Amino acid sequence: MEWHACLDEYEKLVIRMSTPRVVIDNGVCPTATLVKVDSARRHGILLDAVQVLTDLNLSIKKAYISSDGQWFMDVFHVTDLNGNKLTDESVISYIEQSIETTHCDRSHGFNGLTALELTGTDRIGLLSEVFAVLADLQCDVVDAKVWTHNGRIASLIFVKDCNSGSPIEDSQQIDKIEARLRNVLKGDNDIRSAKTTVSMAVTHTERRLHQMMFADRDYERKPILEHTSELPAVTLQNWVERGYSVVNVQCKDRTKLLFDVVCTLTDMQYVVFHATIKTSGDKAYLEFYIRHRDGIPVSSEPERHRLIQCLQAAVERRASEGVRLELCTSDRQCLLADVTRTFRENGLNVTRAEISTTSDVALNVFYVTDATGNLADPKTIEAVRQKIGLGNLKVKQLPSVYHQKAEPEEQQAVGVGGAVLLSLGSLVRRNLYNLGLIKSYS
């Protein structure tokens, strides 16, 4: 009995050691809520924490990550999208519980639906054709996300049968849906790479979109249209003495930026040992000390080039150009087919879309440009709104948090050369200071 009791206590200790511990502090920083996480280190633990925060649409203004041996510690400075600290106790409790119990690849409540994965060459009106086919096949779109990048499109669409309200399980019906959608995606010029799949996986939706575009090698394709915004600056150098590769990313700040970068590093089998994330006004500066899961830093020029390309793609996929249109109306059959057909008939191209349905109300977001990838003519936008309904389709601007003035102390970017020259001990002391574990790192 004593032996079994010892085993039980040991198992409890292992569970306590492997379960992340979360502390949320509103008293340290006057402008942000601090979320501190520490746990035993495992692959994907950083992504788990970032995923919880970004799923709540929180803005991560700063972050400090440090992994000492087998222990992982980090602190996030977060606000809501209006730049306010977190005061809602239900949100705080959700963060604590979710990070402490989270696992990678968790599902997001899409049980009872059929997931369709689509990749192919993007073109004007493609989304309209996809939704028209689904409507014709009696598929009700409940939730969907659509990304476009470098002339490619990836979409994860959750549907149910219009008549029964049940997931579509009949193999013949599934084959018919896949075949019809594949023909639409192929068009006249994508015979080889267009793909349609019925997915049974429960991977986080946005992580899955990154994986789909990565598998489609969108990062290697040259954009059809010239970029209208500044490309993300990504540099990589090896710190030979310490056995790290140091990655710096500088780009425009936006929500979910850290998730997109960490997601890509994780799926490419890189481990983040230390990192510093800062934002200043509308700019973000991210620095990561990484190794491959086999313990080796980036070891060749092709690997270095590929990692830089993939990180640039990860930043760009969600940074859609165009006017943000929000549709809020009663859900009905063929709604998406009708709305996207109206876009197409007026020469508008959908560069990104987020479709959701709650209690028979459609809450949809579309980013649209003109046919050449430039900002759409305001007169065209108003004409589309007139046809769909001025009260239903509204033009939305970016939150004011993106237009705040830069703080003087945050003006300087984190330099690659200077970072490489830092000693590891100094880096760790600084991160321990930011975690509140020591009084000074000077």
Residue 236 φ/ψ, nearest 5 degrees? -145, 125
303-337 pLDDT, tens digit each = 999 999 999 999 999 986 789 999 999 999 899 99
Residue 79's domain comprises 19-104+230-318+412-434
Percentage of the chain with pLDDT > 90?
Answer: 64
- The more confidently predicted of residues 313 and 427 is 313
Rounded CA-CA distance 25/57 in Å is 19
Does residue 13 fall inside a structural domain?
no
The reply to whether 130 and 202 lie within a common domain is yes
The reply to whether 323 and 201 lie within a common domain is yes
- pLDDT for position 438: 45
What mean pLDDT comes out for the span 26-35? 94
What mean pLDDT comes out for the span 34-53? 90
Least confident of 7-21, 268-282, 356-370, 374-388: 7-21
- pLDDT for position 437: 44
What mean pLDDT comes out for the span 120-149? 95
- pLDDT for position 412: 40
For the record, the structure tokens of 44 come out as 């994907």
- The more confidently predicted of residues 84 and 16 is 84
Distances (CA, A) of 423 to 200, 270, 417, 429: 47, 22, 12, 10
Does residue 143 fall inside a structural domain?
yes
Distances (CA, A) of 286 to 46, 112, 129, 277: 14, 39, 39, 4
Distances (CA, A) of 246 to 256, 286, 369, 412: 22, 10, 36, 18
The reply to whether 301 and 343 lie within a common domain is no
Q: Which residues contact 20 (CB under 8 A, 6 or more apart)?
A: 37, 38, 39, 45, 48, 49, 99, 100, 102
The reply to whether 175 and 286 lie within a common domain is no
Report which listed range, 65-79, 160-174, 289-303, is most confident: 289-303
Rounded CA-CA distance 118/245 in Å is 34
Does residue 6 fall inside a structural domain?
no
The reply to whether 56 and 154 lie within a common domain is no
For residue 172, name the pLDDT band (cuts at 50, 70, 90): very high
Rounded CA-CA distance 248/238 in Å is 12
For residue 432, name the pLDDT band (cuts at 50, 70, 90): very low
Per the listing, tokens 């090698």 go with 217
- pLDDT for position 385: 96
- pLDDT for position 398: 40
CA 238 to chain centre: 27
The reply to whether 157 and 75 lie within a common domain is no
- pLDDT for position 9: 59
Rounded CA-CA distance 277/284 in Å is 7
- pLDDT for position 6: 54
- The more confidently predicted of residues 187 and 225 is 187
- Is the pLDDT score of 419 beyond 80? no
Domain of residue 94, CATH code = 3.30.70.260
- Is the pLDDT score of 201 beyond 70? no
3-state SS, residue 312:
helix
Does residue 307 fall inside a structural domain?
yes
Rounded CA-CA distance 302/189 in Å is 30
Does residue 8 fall inside a structural domain?
no
Give this prediction's pTM: 0.84
Classify strands 244-252 and 323-330 as parallel, antiparallel or unpaired. unpaired
- Is the pLDDT score of 348 beyond 50? yes
Residue 170 φ/ψ, nearest 5 degrees? -65, 125
The reply to whether 330 and 201 lie within a common domain is yes
3-state SS, residue 374:
coil
Does residue 236 fall inside a structural domain?
yes
- pLDDT for position 408: 40
- Is the pLDDT score of 378 beyond 50? yes
Per the listing, tokens 């970068």 go with 261
Residue 314 φ/ψ, nearest 5 degrees? -60, -40
Amino acid (1-letter code) at residue 12: K
Report which listed range, 66-70, 310-314, 418-422, is most confident: 310-314
260-299 pLDDT, tens digit each = 999 999 999 999 999 999 999 999 999 999 999 999 999 9
Percentage of the chain with pLDDT > 70?
Answer: 81
Does residue 403 fall inside a structural domain?
no
Residue 3 burial class via C-beta count within 10 angstroms: exposed 0-12, middle 13-18, buried 19 and up: exposed
3-state SS, residue 13:
helix
- pLDDT for position 2: 57
DSSP track, 68-121? ETTEEEEEEEEE-TTSPPP--HHHHHHHHHHHHH--TT---S-TTSEEEEEEEE
- Is the pLDDT score of 237 beyond 60? yes
The reply to whether 375 and 293 lie within a common domain is no
The reply to whether 136 and 203 lie within a common domain is yes
- pLDDT for position 16: 52
What mean pLDDT comes out for the span 167-187? 91
Looking at every residue in the chain, the average pLDDT score rounds to 84
Does residue 92 fall inside a structural domain?
yes
> Domain total for the chain?
2
6-30 pLDDT, tens digit each = 546 545 544 455 678 899 999 999 9
4, 56 contact by CB (below 8 A): no
DSSP track, 323-357? EEEEEEEE--TTHHHHHHHHHHHTT-EEEEEEEEE
- Is the pLDDT score of 423 beyond 60? no
The reply to whether 118 and 86 lie within a common domain is no
Rounded CA-CA distance 235/121 in Å is 29
The reply to whether 122 and 202 lie within a common domain is yes
The reply to whether 124 and 187 lie within a common domain is yes
- pLDDT for position 11: 54
For residue 107, name the pLDDT band (cuts at 50, 70, 90): very low
